[in-house]
Amino acid sequence: MPKLLKLSTLLLSLSCSLAFAAEPRWDNEGITLGDEKEELYLPLLEGQRVAIFSNQTGCQKSGKHVLDVLIEKGVNVTTLFSPEHGFRGTADAGERVNSSVDEKTGIPILSLYDGKKMGPSDEAMQGFDVMVVDIQDVGLRFYTYYVTMLQLMRRCSECDRRVIILDRPNPNGHFVDGPILDMKLKSGVGALPIPIVHGMTLGELAFMAQGEGWVPACRLEVIPCSGYTHQSLYALPIAPSPNLPNMRSVYLYPSLCYFEGTPVSLGRGTEAPFQLYGHPSFTGYQFSFTPESRPGAKNPTQLGEECHGVDLRALDMGELQQLKRIDLSYVVDAYMRYPQKEDFFQREGRFFDLLTGQTRIREMIASGASAAEIEASWKDDVERFRQQRKKYLIYPE
């Protein structure tokens, strides 16, 4: 894990603060990843042409990447597919990533985030028999890796290709929260009628997507983790994308991502993305930061502007683990402080609505509703989804 960043000068007291402090607990040592169960999946790959959907996170705990493991075992890997941020995980959020070649092996890397929406071409699909998925998701509806996985499952169904998911823990798998997506708002940051925090692994989500008829059925197998439950607290050993550098950012991501649809900076272009928020117009804050262009954030919101706001790096990690909910107080606080309310939701609120999955969240904020009132509005959604997903869970709740 990267070292936690140094604390800044001021942390304002916000409604998310809990009444106690708690030490973080991590369960990594007792968990075996799906890609470490070679005895289960290597026999399925014998004599097959294999494609891998992965990125820098597709490593065993030994540090070996799944690509290197398969090649060492004599598996015929013919194709690599890369998601948003690319196979090495260095591209900006939303940046188009061109296809290339893996320098170490010479195997072609076909980008699934090149601006095209139809998935791999027929020619690409003819180059393999089995698709192996080994990638670290963070369990949020607007995180794009699962969307790309579903796209691949659809193409594998159409072309009669087998899909094997080497499952991984969900670092946000210990809770479920948020409104269910209105499918009128289906997009690249929301592909299924599920809450923002769905609490499922990629393997479980794939089973549910097929079982509910959200994607066409393919020949799907999941190699499960061992020692993992939905109360396990898993610390990611590798940053899943450039702007989620540590577990604090992963835990705050469900509460801060909505700033992407506003002029407010959430720390992209700083050392602490998804751990700060602010705007040049905000007053009353002693803390400030200035976003700059850097790898993974070439053109961040408020580039070069001094932003005044809130530093969340002093929040207790144990408290964040036990919060188990989306905290909209950050967005409500920013809206109340923003001087020109009509300009807070950019592009008429379109991207904000895509992220929340509903138009009513934006409307409630604009009407003056409190964070608690808005969060209460989706409680029925959460309970309904919990019941719906039960038959697809691989791991105990």
pLDDT of amino acid 10: 28
Asked, for residue 19, whether it belongs to a domain, the answer is no
Query: In what helix (H) or strand (E) does residue 253 lie, and over which residues does it extend?
Result: helix 247-256
Domain of residue 305, CATH code: 3.90.1150
How many structural domains comprise the chain?
Answer: 2
Amino acid 117: pLDDT: 58
Same domain? 109 vs 201: yes
Q: Of the residues 235, 266, 285, which one is the last residue of a structural domain?
A: 235
The backbone torsions φ and ψ at residue 135, rounded to the nearest 5 degrees and listed phi first, read -150, 145
Could you tell me if 311 and 219 lie in one domain?
A: no
Does a structural domain hold residue 169? yes
Give 3-state DSSP helix, strand, coil % of the chain, rounded to 5: 30, 15, 55
In this structure, the answer to whether residues 165 and 65 fall within a common structural domain is: yes
Considering the domain architecture, whether residues 261 and 186 belong to the same structural domain is answered as no
Range of 256's domain? Answer: 247-383
Q: Both 254 and 181 in a single domain?
A: no
332 in any annotated domain? yes
The low-confidence residues of the chain, meaning pLDDT below 50, are: 1-21, 89-95
Task: Report if residue 14 sits inside a domain.
Answer: no
Residue 296 lies in a domain: yes
Residue 22 maps to a domain: no
Let me know whether 149 and 202 are in one domain. Answer: yes
262 plus 303 within the same structural domain? yes
Name the domain boundary from 235, 270, 303. 235
| Angle in degrees, 0-180, between the axes of helices 247-256 and 329-337, rounded to the nearest 10 | 60
Are 198 and 279 members of one domain? Answer: no
CATH number of the domain that residue 79 is part of: 3.40.50.12170
Query: Which pair of tokens denotes residue 92?
Result: 């900006």
Do residues 270 and 373 both lie within one domain?
A: yes
Q: Identify whether residues 85 and 191 lie together within a single domain.
A: yes
Report yes or no on 46 lying in a domain.
yes
Q: Which residues contact 330 (CB under 8 A, 6 or more apart)?
A: 14, 16, 255, 256, 259, 277, 310
pLDDT number for residue 111: 78
Same domain, yes or no, for 352 and 373?
A: yes
* Burial environment of residue 247 by CB neighbours within 10 A (0 to 12, 13 to 18, 19 or more): buried
Q: Write down the pLDDT at residue 73.
A: 97
For 69-81, b/e burial (b = at least 16 CB within 10 A) is bbbeeebebbbbb
Gap between the Cα atoms of 356 and 182, Å rounded: 9
What is the per-residue pLDDT for 98? Answer: 58
In a domain, 394, yes or no: no
Indicate the pTM of the whole model: 0.90
For residues 147 and 284, membership in a common domain is answered with no
